[in-house]
Each structure stands twice: as structure tokens, then as C-alpha cells.
């Protein structure tokens, strides 16, 4: 049975970093709807042109658009053993779509990273992404000029990590995505993790949570 993992949590909670690590450890694809949408914008595809303004504003793109992206991605052969989903679902409607897509044949583990709003704003203002290899880097101090430790590439700031957009994204999270916790909370495969810990400690807690839920996988959905 395939085991799909959802990384839940507000922007800046560490979903991307943890999802990439987890996917590498488990040898399954990392599926980030945000990355897919940013790639579409960068490549100038019709989809990219449709969603660029929405991404820049911090709002959510439509449930239909992301559902189509995820549906297509999950049908590829490399997703058969499971994927780590990062940034999807973000609304209750998307979570319902995911349940329908997986049916009863596949298990779903939900890992929710909890971080306080103050920490999120600080983290997002210091977050940089390597333009060459995509590694996510936390600057030690604002304004520090650094290069990627992995590949020496230039570090860039995501356009939606500017402070005014960050506040909108956190408001959107509270309004649209936080209700997902209620949708998932009763499931035995739902776990909350303290995302304020070091990345290594969070990764350890995530791995332990997934192992713990292994016993109940497939029986509560
Ligand atoms: P992320 O990289 O996950 O922070 O996503 C960046 C942006 O992409 C979000 O602020 C939304 O505009 C859009 N986006 C990503 N995933 C979704 C989703 N599941 N539903 C709607 N919009 C999304």
C-alpha cells in the first residue's frame, strides 16, 4: 500500500525544508504545489501567466488549478509508492479532493508543524532560496550577503516573502488553511510537531511520528 505524507503548517513553519529531507530519506518524490506554480510562472506557460498575480499577492490560486496539478502528478509512475506533499492541501475542498484521489487503497499521514506567528514573520524575512539548486537557507541576520553552502549559487528572496505579502499569506493561512486541522484532527494518522525546534530535531520528530502512525495506516480513513 502506498503511503502519502502531507506536511501541514503555516508559511515559514519549515514545510519545504522538512518535506525535501523526508522525501530524500524515503526515496519518494517531493511534491510542492508552490514550486510547481513558481516554475510555471518562470517558464511563462499559460498557467504561469494566469497565476503570477495571485502568487505575488499572497492569495491562493483556485482549488481546481492545484487539484489538476496534483492529480496529474500523483498518476506518474514514480508516485506509486507515495509522495511527500508540501503546500497541498491548503483548503478543506482540496483535502476532500485528495481523499477522493487516494481512495481507500492508499494511506495518508498528516504532519502538522506548529510555529508561533512572531517566529514565522522573523523566519520568512530571513529566508533565502538558492537560485541555482533551490536549497532553502535561513540567514543569520537581515542584510547578510551569503552564497549557498551547497553549490555557491546566489541566494535570492522569494517575491512573496516581502513583509506586506507575508502578512497577507499568514492571514490567508488562518482563514483558509487552519480549518484543515479540524478536518484532520480526529484521524489516528494526524500528528502535531513543535516546528520551533532545530531542523534536525524537527526531522527526528517527523520520522518518529510517521513510524508511530505506521500501525494505524490505512485503518482510519
Ligand atoms: P508555497 O511555496 O507553498 O508557500 O506557495 C506559494 C504560493 O503558491 C501560495 O502563496 C499560493 O499563492 C500558491 N499555492 C501553493 N500551493 C497552493 C494550494 N495548495 N492552493 C492554492 N494556492 C497554492
Closest to 60 (Cα-Cα) out of 83, 34, 39, 36? 34
Q: What local confidence, expressed as pLDDT, does residue 9 receive?
A: 94
Q: What local confidence, expressed as pLDDT, does residue 138 receive?
A: 87
> CATH code at 19?
3.40.50.300
Question: What ranges make up the beta strands (E) of 50-179?
Answer: 84-86, 107-114, 127-130, 136-138, 155-156
The residues facing 85 across adjacent strands are 6, 31
Q: Is there an atom of ligand 1 within 6 Å of 65 CB?
A: no
Q: Has this prediction a pTM greater than 0.85?
A: yes
Residue 164 belongs to some domain of the structure: no
Q: What local confidence, expressed as pLDDT, does residue 64 receive?
A: 97
Residue 207 belongs to some domain of the structure: yes
Per-10-residue mean pLDDT, the chain, length 221: 91 95 96 97 96 95 98 96 96 96 87 94 91 89 75 92 91 94 93 95 95 68 43
Residue 63 belongs to some domain of the structure: no
Residue 169 belongs to some domain of the structure: no
Residue 195 belongs to some domain of the structure: yes
Number of domains comprising the chain: 1
DSSP per residue over 100-120, as a string? HHHTTTSEEEEEEEE--HHHH
Residues carrying an active site annotation: 15, 90, 127, 158, 169
Determine the structural domain holding residue 199 and report its residue range: 3-29+76-116+177-220
Q: Is there an atom of ligand 1 within 6 Å of 94 CB?
A: yes
Closest to 150 (Cα-Cα) out of 129, 166, 168? 129
Residue 90 belongs to some domain of the structure: yes
Q: What local confidence, expressed as pLDDT, does residue 220 receive?
A: 44
Distance in Å, CA 60 to ligand 1 centroid = 6
Amino acid at each position: 500500500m502506498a503511503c502519502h505524507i502531507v506536511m501541514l503548517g503555516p508559511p515559514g513553519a519549515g514545510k519545504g525544508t522538512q518535506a525535501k529531507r523526508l522525501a530524500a530519506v524515503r526515496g519518494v518524490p517531493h511534491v510542492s504545489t508552490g514550486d510547481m506554480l513558481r516554475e510555471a510562472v518562470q517558464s511563462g506557460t499559460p498557467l504561469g501567466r494566469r497565476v503570477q498575480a495571485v502568487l505575488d499577492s499572497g492569495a491562493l490560486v483556485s482549488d481546481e488549478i492545484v487539484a489538476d496539478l496534483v492529480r496529474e502528478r500523483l498518476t506518474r509512475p514514480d508516485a506509486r509508492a507515495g509522495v511527500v506533499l508540501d503546500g497541498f492541501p491548503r483548503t478543506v475542498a482540496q483535502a476532500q479532493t485528495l481523499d477522493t484521489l487516494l481512495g481507500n487503497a492508499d494511506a495518508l499521514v498528516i504532519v502538522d508543524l506548529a510555529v508561533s506567528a512572531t517566529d514565522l514573520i522573523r523566519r520568512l524575512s530571513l529566508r533565502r532560496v538558492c537560485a541555482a539548486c533551490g536549497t532553502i537557507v535561513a540567514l543569520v541576520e537581515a542584510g547578510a550577503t551569503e552564497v549557498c553552502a551547497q553549490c555557491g549559487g546566489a541566494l535570492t528572496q522569494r517575491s512573496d516573502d516581502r513583509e506586506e505579502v507575508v502578512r497577507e499569506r499568514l492571514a490567508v493561512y488562518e482563514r483558509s488553511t487552519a480549518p484543515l486541522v479540524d478536518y484532520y484532527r480526529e484521524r489516528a494518522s494526524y500528528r502535531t510537531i513543535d516546528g520551533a525546534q532545530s531542523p534536525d530535531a524537527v526531522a527526528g520528530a517527523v520520522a518518529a511520528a510517521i513510524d508511530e502512525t505506521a500501525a494505524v495506516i490505512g485503518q482510519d480513513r
